[in-house]
């Protein structure tokens, strides 16, 4: 409803400008109306009136490096009205790539069979592949509905060019994302027959996989490997496909084959770490992957394997369900109330979830402009409306004195000071921050593992020890015996919290510098 009201306001302003002869102002408001409601008939009627008064209107919507989506869409419609729909479609597709769930292409001219005949197949392939990179596989339901008109264009184009292998393959990729698995298989099969290449076999393999036809999918992907044995991304695809169907040993064999060719190939490293973690649950694989990501910032494309593995695991992907721990009280020497700026910065980053421990560290970088004493004040008086305030304040401490070697660092000393004492939210948060430091800094791992091991032993029989056990399981380099103890502690019911007063922790060693 809000979008419709915004479109109506923009239309009213456009009508007024058009009546006054202010064509550019009318165009600007029309672009705004299209951005809010791309298929509203009133908008298209007014666009036609503007075009009639401005010699087609194209000069009012010039292409620029940072053209708004509304301007792109308006120009696309005017190009179609001028008899050039094949030039307008790429502009609509650019808008769809920006906001895939919006119905940019739900207009009559896109569904005309003539468009599929007029548009050059290579141009349409480029349009379709850009769309595919902007949506998931499969796409969510709103996106499927919004992108159906493009599939219609592909149908008409394939009818006009039935042997165009690239068009068939790209069309298959789009059909697969839109839930048309049978159509995807048909088009990809025809493309592979018309021109058997590595890419054609990959498209066919993906189409078979989406249709649940595993043997055919694997056969096609193996043929892709035969076309190009050095393309290790296909090895990773085969491994992922096998793992998804419960054939983990076979999947890891393909990972090993690829790593034998190139131990540093990013797709295979990510896939291998994910599958090995799936196989044995050892976070060492994830820590090694985090190290690889840190040491190889220029990867071929974005990977989500680390976050996928950490998701829903306590502390690896986010704060666990609220543990029965006291709030805890911190009273740093000479600390006052948190400043408004400190609270504002904390609100900006605080959340109950993060992709993985290094991602939590990266997110906390926004707190580096706060002094340590400000962060300690946030611990002393955590804002009630901020999620996991203690966790993020402690993560903020990790960003201070990063040039100092870990063992002699201020950040280590402050976190250990916070860790002293019983079990509460602050000690829990401090321990997590120490563990995050071990994820991002290999030189801290032995020290942090020693701290965690001692902490687990110290609190093993206390209420709330389960939370420490979960933290231990997220600790890099923890010895097998301690990990087994922690695992056993997480498998028994949590001990109910005893009522009692929260304690005060006085950080006598901290002074304002």
Q: What is the pLDDT of residue 325?
A: 83
**CATH architecture label of 2-222:** Alpha Horseshoe (1.25)
Residue 435, Cβ density class (10 Å: 0-12 exposed, 13-18 middle, ≥19 buried): buried
Distances (CA, A) of 205 to 190, 199, 252: 13, 10, 19
> Do 483 and 473 touch, CB atoms closer than 8 A?
yes
CATH class of the structural domain 229-310: mainly alpha
> Do 95 and 134 touch, CB atoms closer than 8 A?
no
Could you tell me which residues are beta bridge partners of residue 331?
506
pTM over 0.85: no
C-alpha 81/C-alpha 61 separation (Å) is 14
Q: Domain residues of the chain, as ranges?
A: 2-222, 229-310, 329-507
C-alpha 209/C-alpha 241 separation (Å) is 8
C-alpha 488/C-alpha 481 separation (Å) is 11
Same fold, 2-222 and 229-310: yes
Q: What is the pLDDT of residue 502?
A: 38
pLDDT by 10-residue block (mean), the chain, 513 residues: 90 94 95 94 94 92 90 96 97 95 96 97 97 94 96 98 98 98 98 97 97 97 97 96 95 97 96 96 97 90 93 94 67 67 96 96 96 93 92 97 95 94 90 98 98 94 89 97 95 49 37 32
**How would DSSP label each residue in 418-456?**
HHSSS-SHHHHHHHHHHHHHHHH-GGGHHHHHHHHHHHH
**Cα distance from N-terminal residue to C-terminal residue, the chain:** 54
Give me the torsion for CA of 186, 187, 193, 199, rounded to 10°: -120
């Amino acid at each position: 409803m809000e979008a419709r009201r915004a479109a109506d306001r923009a239309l009213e302003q456009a009508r007024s400008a058009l009546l006054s002869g202010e064509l550019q102002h009318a165009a600007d408001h029309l672009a705004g109306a299209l951005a809010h409601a791309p298929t509203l008939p009133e908008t298209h009627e007014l666009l036609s009136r503007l075009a009639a008064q401005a010699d087609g209107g194209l000069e009012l919507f010039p292409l620029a490096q940072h053209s708004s989506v509304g301007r792109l869409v308006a120009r696309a419609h005017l190009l179609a009205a001028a008899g050039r729909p094949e030039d307008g479609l790429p502009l609509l597709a650019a808008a769809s790539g920006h906001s895939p769930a919006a119905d940019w292409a739900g207009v009559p001219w896109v569904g005309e069979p003539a468009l599929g005949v007029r548009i050059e197949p290579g141009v349409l392939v480029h349009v379709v592949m850009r769309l595919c990179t902007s949506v998931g596989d499969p796409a969510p339901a709103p996106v499927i509905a919004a992108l159906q008109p493009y599939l219609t264009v592909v149908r008409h184009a394939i009818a006009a060019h039935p042997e165009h292998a690239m068009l068939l393959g790209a069309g298959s990729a789009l059909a697969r994302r839109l839930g048309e698995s049978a159509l995807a298989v048909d088009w990809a099969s025809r493309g592979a027959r018309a021109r058997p290449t590595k890419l054609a076999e990959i498209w066919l393999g993906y189409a078979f996989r989406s249709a649940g036809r595993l043997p055919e999918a694997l056969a096609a992907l193996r043929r892709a490997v035969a076309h190009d044995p050095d393309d290790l991304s296909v090895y990773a695809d085969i491994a992922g496909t096998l793992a998804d169907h419960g054939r983990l040993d076979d999947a890891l064999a393909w990972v090993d084959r690829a790593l034998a060719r190139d131990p540093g190939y990013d797709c295979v490293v990510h896939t291998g770490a994910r599958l090995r973690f799936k196989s044995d649950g050892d976070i060492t694989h994830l820590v090694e992957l985090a190290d690889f990501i840190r040491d190889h910032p220029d990867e071929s494309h974005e990977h989500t394997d680390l976050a996928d593995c950490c998701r829903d695991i306590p502390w690896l992907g986010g704060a666990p369900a609220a543990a029965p721990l006291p709030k805890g009280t911190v009273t740093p020497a000479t600390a006052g109330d948190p400043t408004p700026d400190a609270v504002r910065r904390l609100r900006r980053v605080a959340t109950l979830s993060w992709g993985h421990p290094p991602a939590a560290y990266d997110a906390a970088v926004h707190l580096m402009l706060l002094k340590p004493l400000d962060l300690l004040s946030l611990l002393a008086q955590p804002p009630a409306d901020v999620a996991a305030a203690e966790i993020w304040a402690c993560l903020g401490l990790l960003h201070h004195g990063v040039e100092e070697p870990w063992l002699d660092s201020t950040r280590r000393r402050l976190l250990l000071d916070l860790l002293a004492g019983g079990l509460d939210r602050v000690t829990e948060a401090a321990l997590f921050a120490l563990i995050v430091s071990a994820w991002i800094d290999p030189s801290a791992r032995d020290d942090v593992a020693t701290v965690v091991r001692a902490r687990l032993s110290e609190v093993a029989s206390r209420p709330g020890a389960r939370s420490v056990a979960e933290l231990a399981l997220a600790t890099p380099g923890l010895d097998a015996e301690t990990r087994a103890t922690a695992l056993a502690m997480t498998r028994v019911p949590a001990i109910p919290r005893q009522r009692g007063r929260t304690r005060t922790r006085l950080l006598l060693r901290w002074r304002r510098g």
